[in-house]
Structure formats: structure tokens, C-alpha cells
Structure 1
Amino acid sequence: MRWDWRPLAGFLVGGVGAWAAGLTPGTSALLGLLVAAGVLLLSRLDGTPDPGWDRERLDRRHGARGEVQDLAWAMVGRDGRIGERVLRRLREVARSRLARHGMTLDDPHAQSLLGTRAVRTLTRTTSPLPTVADVVHTLDVLDRLGPRRATPTDDGAPTDD
């Protein structure tokens, strides 16, 4: 290890400069120590920033299956019911899936497409929040809904494009 002369030089420059400015020798020595401590601190600091974590960025389409799966792991609260955050996210996914089919949650045809239990889970605004079983059912219904719009055939039965 090499001996670092910079703090000593800072002490001498600070102390001699203060003594030349007319301060007492004790005050000059104290000021020299202060300058030496500053030089020592600055010489030990590393100015390069720490490298950040390389995170893999996945390009996901809005309302894709991965969003539904991300919800599944964080659903259960302490009381066995889901939290408001998960319910809000579930509603976003449902709106996206229904929009692909030309519907909203308020649409009367949404209940025939999703079912009463899923619509009740998605539109609940009062306590108690839905149970985990209700949310799992709703996730299954949204997953079966599919990413594409159902178009009616000539006989009126819906088919996937």
C-alpha cells in the first residue's frame, strides 16, 4: 500500500495559510486538521455510480394471459379475502378483455358472457370484499373469454375469429 501525501499537504496548506492570515497557531493547526480531514474524505470517495440491476423487460400486451397469472399469486389477504388493489387490477383486466368483445361491465350482455358470479365479483364496491374462490372463478372466466372477439355466425352462435 502506498503512502498518501495529500492529507499532509492539505494540513500544511490550511495551517500555514491560516497562520499567514493572522490566526493564532492553535487555531491554524485546527484549521489545518479540518482541511486534512476534508482532503482525506474526498480522496476516499468513489465518484462512479453503482451499477443498477439488469432487469429483463418483457413486452406484454395489455390484458394478456400473463397479467391474469400475475394477479393469482398476490390475491390472498390476512382475512382470506382479496385486497382492493387486486380487485382494481382484476377490473382493469376484465375491462380490457370485454372491450375486445365490444362490451363494458355495465353492458347487459356482459352478464350472459361472464356469468352472474363473475359480474358480481367485478362490480362489488362494498365490504366484505370477494373471497378467493370468487376471484379464482372470475379469473377462469376471463381466461376462457379469450383474447379475440367472438363474432356471430349466420345461425347466431358465436365463434372465435
Structure 2
Amino acid sequence: MRDWRPYVAFAAAVVVALLAGFSYVTVALVGVAAVAGVLVLTRLEPRADPEFDRPRFDRRHGARGEVQELAWAMVGRDGRVGERALRRVREVARSRLARHGLVLGEDADARAIRDLVGDRAFRTLTRTGSPHPKMSEVRQAIDALERIGTTRKSGDT
């Protein structure tokens, strides 16, 4: 079924323009402008477009997104590990060493920690200034922390 509104708008605009005394060319232009206006107004949607509903994921501790963010933060532009990743490695080290009765950063425990994880890993875990360690140094420290495990040695009480 055809929409009759453009025809009515054209006829009404032509009649009004003729009654106003415009020339035939102006009358035709007013009629075309009226039809264009009606076509535009009938095509406009009065309701706003629906928003894109993005799924929201519940972030749990240790979830994939957290690991992904940590992976992005690992290596900076200069090939060295970023501060955020280094802090996380130190948190893990504190937790692992605490299970062995040692405190990272305590001078009294420094020798025991060095013996447990090795010199290179100890330097990586206790480095506080620039430049940050390279990825290979952090990987070696993580390997050393994995080797010591999460439980105390069998002879400890």
C-alpha cells in the first residue's frame, strides 16, 4: 500500500504557493521541498537506537583476565619486566618463603633465602632500583620459587 503523505504535502504546498502569487518555477520548488521534508520526517525513527549490550563477566581472583593483564604487564618496551609484574613475583616469593619461616627483606634471613633460591634469584627478588630485571632473570627467580615449593622442608618443625 502506498503512502499518501508525500502527495498530500506536494498538493498542499503547490496550492499555498499559487495562492501566495509565486511564479510557476518557485511553486514547483516549494512542492518538491515539501515532499522532501515529508519523506525525511516519515523516515526518522522517534525511538533511540538500542544500546549494544556487552556481556559482563564476573571476575574471580586468579581468573583468565587477571592472568592476561599480568602477561601484558610483564615486559616493557625496553625488554625489562614492569614494576607491576615484579611486585606480583615478590608477593609470591614472600608467601613461599614465609612457609619456610623466612621473611623477604629481613637482613637476618638474607643468607638463608640466598641459600634456598640462589644468588641470581635473590638479587632479582630484592632489587629495588632501576633498571628493572630482564625477563630471563625473573623467569629464573620464578623457577627457583617453584623448586622450593609451598611446604616446608622435611627436617623443619
TM range (shorter): 0.5 to 0.7
- Which amino acid in 2 is paired with 1:87? L
Count of residues in Structure 1 that have an aligned counterpart in Structure 2: 114
Partner of 1:118: 121
Q: Root-mean-square deviation (CA), in Å?
A: 3.9
CA change 1:71–1:113 in 2 (3 A) is farther
Distance 1:69 1:112 in 2: 33
Deviation at 1:57, TM superposition (A): 4.5
CA change 1:139–1:151 in 2 (3 A) is closer
Partner of 1:8: none
- Which amino acid in 2 is paired with 1:131? K
**Is residue 78 of structure 2 the alignment partner of residue 75 of structure 1?**
no
**Is residue 126 of structure 2 the alignment partner of residue 127 of structure 1?**
no
- Aligned 8 A contact 1:77 1:83 in 2: yes
- Aligned 8 A contact 2:124 2:133 in 1: yes
- Which amino acid in 1 is paired with 2:119? T
- The alignment partner of 1:138 has SS state of helix
- The alignment partner of 2:75 has SS state of coil
Distance 2:127 2:48 in 1: 56
Runs of 4+ off more than 6 Å: 67-70
Deviation at 1:45, TM superposition (A): 6.4
CA change 1:118–1:69 in 2 (3 A) is farther
- Aligned 8 A contact 1:81 1:129 in 2: yes
- Aligned 8 A contact 1:118 1:141 in 2: yes
Distance 1:120 1:126 in 2: 11
**Is residue 142 of structure 2 the alignment partner of residue 139 of structure 1?**
yes
Which has the larger displacement, 118-127 or 50-59? Answer: 50-59
- The alignment partner of 2:131 has SS state of coil
TM-score (norm 1): 0.52
- Aligned 8 A contact 2:120 2:141 in 1: yes
Structure with greater helix share of residues: 2
Q: Which has the larger radius of gyration?
A: 2
Distance 1:110 1:116 in 2: 9
